[in-house]
Amino acid sequence: MTTHILVLCTHNSARSVLAEAMLQHWAARLGRDVKAHSAGSAPGGRINPLALESLHGAGIDTRGCRSKSWDEFSAAGAPPLSIVITVCDQAAAEPCPVFFGGAAGQPLKVHWGYPDPSNAEGGDAGRRRAFELTRQALGYRMLQLLTLPLETMDRAALHTALVEIGRS
């Protein structure tokens, strides 16, 4: 059974898109039955070009990536979410809608905060570096997530492991 993971950020234009693309990439490379999604509480309607540049530079496919509302994942017909990860402080503090999981009910929710690379100092070069470092850090956490036996872990153990990954 496919494990659906939703990554949330406020505008769904940078960090959540980087995480979605990195998780999707590594899941495919590792042969894991995991489907990544991303969304925002107040989507900006476009993906930051520097996020796309960082992903393309790493050879990551971005087809299908788009800025979208988290409402899509609480509507009828939405995929059954297993895990919801917030990656920016604003989204972590916002009240989340109800997301429906599979047989286990509500998905596990964890916060893995990152500063917004769009606000990095140093002009375009500084922002490019911040996007690349954020992409690498998210990719590392997604690899850690994919090493977990998602299909067989109980909820408490999985939640503990996800929290620990967030501390790494």
- Per-residue pLDDT for the chain (168 aa), expressed as one digit of tens each? 899 999 999 899 999 999 999 999 999 999 999 999 999 988 989 999 999 999 999 999 999 899 999 999 988 889 999 999 999 865 555 555 555 555 457 899 999 989 999 999 999 999 999 999 999 999 999 999 999 999 999 999 999 999 999 998
> From residue 150, how far is each of 92, 146, 147, 158 by CA, in Å?
23, 8, 8, 7
With 0.85 as the threshold, say if the pTM is over it. yes
C-alpha dihedral sign at 139, 57, 67, 135: positive
Active-site residue among 60, 65, 88, 120?
A: 88
pLDDT at 98: 53
Return the ∠ at Cα 120 (arms to 94 and 126), rounded to 5°.
150
> From residue 158, how far is each of 12, 15, 30, 89, 111 by CA, in Å?
25, 23, 19, 22, 14
pLDDT at 97: 56
Active-site residue among 96, 143, 148, 153?
A: 96
pLDDT at 142: 97
pLDDT at 75: 85
Active-site residue among 5, 6, 8, 9?
A: 9
3-167 CATH, one of 3.40.50.920, 3.30.70.2190, 3.40.50.1820, 3.40.50.2300? 3.40.50.2300
65 counts as catalytic: no
